[in-house]
Chain A
Amino acid sequence: MNARAFRGAWIVATAAVALAMLARSGVSQPPAEALAKPMVVADIHNASASIAECKACHSGADQRGVRDFVNKFKSHEFIRLDESIVWEENDPHGKAFAVLDPTANSIAKIMQKSLENGNPGYQIQNDVRCLTCHATDMKPTQKTGKLATDFARNNDVGVGCLSCHGVGAEWQVAHYKSDPTGKNEIPWRTMTPKVKEEKGLRNLRDPLAKAEMCASCHVGNPDEGKVVTHEMYAAGHPPLPPFELVSFIEGEPKHWNNPSKTPYLVDLAKNKPTDAYDLFQYRSETIDNYTARHIAAGAIASMQAEMKLLQADAAERTKNPSHMLDFARFDCYACHHDLKIPSDRQERGYEGAPGRPPLKAWVSALPAVIAANAGLGTTFDEKWGAVKKASLAKPFGDTAEVLKASSEMIAWYKPNGKEFMYSTEATTALRGEIEKAIADKKWRGDTEAVMHLTWAYRSLRTTLTNDADKLDPLAVFLPKNVREATETDKKVPVTAGEVLAERQKKFAAFDWTKFQEEFSKLK
């Protein structure tokens, strides 16, 4: 689903919610046998967005007759029922708002001090630019002119359930409502994603919709006010690492099961494959590899997200001729590197005039491989070539050309749901292509591109042969994952500054030649 359709769905969802609220007085309470106590429906305009409501069922506790409900409808075959606990205890998203507290987080302290300059009342915890990603946006359809009060921002929420699953009130009631006759299964399970979306639930079973949602913060989304500017980076915001969907998901404490581990979905795919795809976007692994499909979706969505940021920035400049493309749109490490001699960049040579910062190399590295693998390589290379040329035409790009080329790059991908299907053979072929790309000399000096490709490669290796641990020696050169869990990390994370300092040090010391030597041994 593209962004426009997605936005459309939100508008529909809001309308639906409003209608539902009007009609609520007539809606019967959830069945007494399911819930002993009525549940407070999250009001879109006045919701706590607290996970407390969700916890009633998703914490595994036997509250309000949950166990009977579960047994009756076999929910345990479908979901885990410990979602809230996993999220609450270990998920970094839950700390997204808490990290903005200058008294508790050293980075927040630096940022508060840097950004409050000349404005004594300033607080990063009230800054909408921060809240769009660090809190739960209760007015997602309102794209601009947001206020701090539009966000649910309690220390126990951060990026909570509703941030990802959707703030709509209707689905929150509907998704567990049993059939009034009590004979059939829960009606929600037989609704199409489109219908569910109309009721406010985001279709996270579609890898592309999921990737777009994650990328909206982990890369950015200008329409939703999610943009980390160079000013924010300079004030202390950690550099956003390249976004590789599967590796990021692997770094998460999982509150979901992969479909292949979900009996309900496995059976459905076996017995009613059409239903399994139409309702849950699931095909059995041998036909369509879950990991490969997510890698592809993540790469394409990230590329599009970055192109939209570029497009928006370039469009802004056409309004204001003195506006230069933000430094943050370019490869951070094109400038932010120590001046090592001999220099990887000078050895490799430059695509344009030497010394012009290029765009972030990782943005195109993986999509180019995926496009080529899917037979779309020529058009991709053509569009990306134009973006690259426009961005290098002069320092920080020729704005008019950047605007045109980035718009065309965004339009290049038109999802039809079938182009990125990965049989076991196709998955193996993709792994081979990524392996070749990692060794390509053109990425010398582009550590992020090598890292991004290697992360994707590692995930594919896991899914195919489950020997990704063979790549562990490479962690000497590159962070193995975006966030390496440590023992102390299990409950209380090591301070953000320490984790980052370690990571940046390793990143800065990346030695392309040595990495390639090690990598060639592991094939």
Chain B
Amino acid sequence: MYYRVAVLFVAFATAGLFVAQATRSAARAPVIESAHAHEQPYGMIQPNGMYSVATSCSAASCHGSGIVKQAGGEYTTWMEGDPHAKAFGVLYNEVSERMIKNLGRKEPAYRDASCLKCHGVDEDKQLDGEKLDDRNHSEAVSCDACHGPSKNWIAIHYQPSWKAMSDKDKFERYGFVPSKDLSARSLNCAACHVGARDREVNHDLIAAGHPRLSFEYTRYHFSDKYLKHWVEKVPNPDFEVRSWFVGQVASLRAAVDLLAVRAERASRQNSPWPEFSESSCYSCHQGLNPDFPRSAGADRIRPIGVPGWQVWYLSLAKLVPQASQMLFQGDAISSLTALENLRIAMETTNPDPAKIAKLAEKATAELDAILARFQRGGFSENLSVETFTRLGGMIAESALNANRTALKDYDWDFAAQHTLALTAIYHGTGGSSGPPAIAAWKPALLKLRTAIAFDSKSKDRYDSPKDYDPKKTYEAIRAMYDLTHNAKGDR
């Protein structure tokens, strides 16, 4: 009886939300149920958009020229070499079948609304009053999934008047995503690759068989398996380092906002709490080797026996203000205090969901303000080798304890994020054929990569750092520290 009342209440509340949503369909992005108005970036795809099928874009004279990697061949390139094109097909594979079985779901994955949120175009939206049933889902993550629901702009986006319009207008009036803007771009990537208010990969899904999510923009962008159907306007090395930086903030923002939703939900109904996917996977999923140093030796950054919260997205958060001084000349960015308060509250044995929801909203606002500032412009250009060296030195240093005798955190995610950050600088500056001061990082970076690599020697496959030895990571990071601090005198 009580349950039925609760269901009715939720149904009404949901209906109310939809009405509210519809009445402000052209409202500013993103939608955050927050009492405090705060500065927000624009460009995040809104719910209830009207989608077009990809064949609306793939005419030979538009984006389907048939020539890969050339203007006019965007659709062809996507079809040929963009992993997003395979997003729907995987819903038929063995892993998906097992997941559905383990989750006890009724529909197969390729019909399950929660899967299609990310593996197809948004599943329950209308096109010209006609419901987009599964006929369009087979398109996987197609044009509209990233560029925004195109119903309102598909017919005008090739006209001269369109080109004259500002990014902000294109988005706010028509829903066209300004994907050249890195804040908007990475926020939209993060909606699926991290999670959003209406979509998430929680621990139930992961335990059922879904791979964990661990989004880091440059690792995805520069994958050689990812054929691009566009050319970046900003050249490297600036682009890669800048996209690493913006990607960090946007991913963090998505993670914090997702926590806000989960905590808020858990505070008023019986939904999973603690939500394990908020914690670092390998803080729990590690063997119990008594020799593993755990917290002894590292700085005490969280109570003993408490898993780290979102170590993946948080590992470099403290560097944001410092890094912004090197990479960004716009309005100054101060330290992320709301985020730190949230971390401390999350890293306790019994985080209270209602309290967490409030702290997470504040932290989201803090991060939103930064992303909005990025959108106003002011990124440094033509960055120097000295700047990259200093940035690399700062990243290496942040991985070490005060005496530089051990890692600050033994969590694998912490090591991996530092590795990816250093690799982005190295790769962005041209790798081994780049400037000698950075090319010299190669041996240390290789050592670092080996230290964090998953076991590939045993014939069984492991998706976790079995036998991970933080001491090896320390040695490699320490080598990076020495390289970046001795390159030009002792800093």
Q: Mark B419-458, 1 if CB is under 8 A from A, else 0.
A: 0000000000000000000000000000000000000000
Distance of A496 Cα from B291 Cα, bound (Å):
10
Q: B305 contacts A233, CB within 8 Å?
A: yes
Residues of A within 8 A of B102 (CB): 346, 349-350, 354
Distance of A355 Cα from B285 Cα, bound (Å):
12
Q: A355 contacts B207, CB within 8 Å?
A: yes
Q: A355 contacts B305, CB within 8 Å?
A: no
Q: B304 contacts A336, CB within 8 Å?
A: no
A353: which of B204, B296, B304, B350 is its contact (CB, 8 Å)?
B204
A3 part of interface (Cβ distance < 8 Å): no
Residues of B within 8 A of A396 (CB): 274
Distance of A496 Cα from B101 Cα, bound (Å):
43
Distance of A236 Cα from B296 Cα, bound (Å):
9
Q: B290 contacts A337, CB within 8 Å?
A: no
Of B5-13, B22-30, B229-237, B460-468, which binds chain A? B460-468
Q: B295 contacts A497, CB within 8 Å?
A: no
A335 part of interface (Cβ distance < 8 Å): yes
Q: A345 contacts B207, CB within 8 Å?
A: yes
Report which residue of B272, B284, B304, B306 has the largest number of chain A beta carbons within 10 angstroms of its beta carbon. Answer: B304
Distance of A273 Cα from B296 Cα, bound (Å):
59
Known contacts: A233-B305, A349-B101. The answer to whether A354 contacts B207 by CB under 8 A is yes
Distance of A504 Cα from B291 Cα, bound (Å):
11
Known contacts: A114-B296, A341-B463. The answer to whether A235 contacts B304 by CB under 8 A is yes
Known contacts: A336-B285, A395-B272, A504-B287. The answer to whether A354 contacts B103 by CB under 8 A is yes
A19 part of interface (Cβ distance < 8 Å): no
Q: B290 contacts A346, CB within 8 Å?
A: no
A204 part of interface (Cβ distance < 8 Å): no
Nearest B residue to A336 via CB reads B288
A239 part of interface (Cβ distance < 8 Å): yes
User: Using a CB-CB cutoff of 8 Å, which residues 247-277 of chain B contact chain A?
Assistant: 270, 272-276
Known contacts: A107-B290, A230-B305. The answer to whether A117 contacts B285 by CB under 8 A is no
Report which residue of B103, B207, B273, B306 has the largest number of chain A beta carbons within 10 angstroms of its beta carbon. Answer: B207
Distance of A234 Cα from B306 Cα, bound (Å):
8
Q: A114 contacts B295, CB within 8 Å?
A: yes
Known contacts: A235-B305, A355-B206. The answer to whether A114 contacts B288 by CB under 8 A is no
Residues of A within 8 A of B305 (CB): 229-231, 233-235, 327
Residues of B within 8 A of A229 (CB): 305
B352 part of interface (Cβ distance < 8 Å): yes
Nearest A residue to B295 via CB reads A114
Residues of A within 8 A of B276 (CB): 355, 395
Distance of A339 Cα from B283 Cα, bound (Å):
12
Distance of A112 Cα from B273 Cα, bound (Å):
32
Q: A335 contacts B304, CB within 8 Å?
A: no
Q: A238 contacts B290, CB within 8 Å?
A: yes
B221 part of interface (Cβ distance < 8 Å): no
A322 part of interface (Cβ distance < 8 Å): yes
A340 part of interface (Cβ distance < 8 Å): yes
Distance of A479 Cα from B239 Cα, bound (Å):
54
Interface size class of A (residues with CB under 8 A): 35 or more
Give min CB distance, B454 to chain A, whole Å: 9
How many residues of chain B have a CB within 8 Å of chain A? 44
Nearest A residue to B283 via CB reads A335
Residues of B within 8 A of A343 (CB): 209
Nearest A residue to B465 via CB reads A338
A501 part of interface (Cβ distance < 8 Å): yes
Q: B462 contacts A501, CB within 8 Å?
A: no
Give min CB distance, B210 to chain A, whole Å: 10
Q: A339 contacts B464, CB within 8 Å?
A: yes
Nearest B residue to A347 via CB reads B98
Q: B462 contacts A341, CB within 8 Å?
A: yes
Q: B300 contacts A117, CB within 8 Å?
A: yes
Residues of A within 8 A of B304 (CB): 114-115, 117, 231, 234-235
B287: which of A115, A346, A347, A508 is its contact (CB, 8 Å)?
A508
Residues of A within 8 A of B151 (CB): none
A336: which of B103, B275, B286 is its contact (CB, 8 Å)?
B286
Residues of B within 8 A of A64 (CB): none
A341: which of B103, B300, B461 is its contact (CB, 8 Å)?
B461
Residues of B within 8 A of A497 (CB): 290-291
Distance of A234 Cα from B273 Cα, bound (Å):
21
Distance of A230 Cα from B284 Cα, bound (Å):
12
B170 part of interface (Cβ distance < 8 Å): no
Give min CB distance, B206 to chain A, whole Å: 6
Q: A394 contacts B204, CB within 8 Å?
A: no
B223 part of interface (Cβ distance < 8 Å): no
B208 part of interface (Cβ distance < 8 Å): yes
Nearest B residue to A341 via CB reads B461
> Measuring CB to CB, which residues of chain A are less than 8 angstroms from any residue of chain B?
107, 110, 113-115, 117, 229-231, 233-236, 238-239, 322-324, 327, 332, 335-341, 343, 345-347, 349-350, 353-356, 394-396, 496-497, 500-501, 504-505, 508
List 5 additional contacts besides A117-B304, A343-B209; criterion CB under 8 Å.
A338-B286, A339-B463, A353-B103, A356-B204, A395-B272
List 29 A-B pairs, Cβ < 8 Å: A110-B294, A113-B296, A114-B296, A115-B304, A229-B305, A233-B305, A234-B295, A234-B306, A235-B294, A235-B305, A236-B294, A323-B350, A335-B285, A336-B287, A339-B464, A340-B460, A340-B461, A341-B460, A343-B209, A347-B98, A355-B203, A355-B208, A355-B276, A396-B274, A497-B290, A500-B290, A501-B289, A501-B290, A504-B289
What 9 A-B pairs are tightest by C-beta distance, nearest first?
Answer: A355-B207, A234-B305, A339-B464, A335-B284, A354-B207, A354-B208, A339-B463, A355-B203, A338-B466
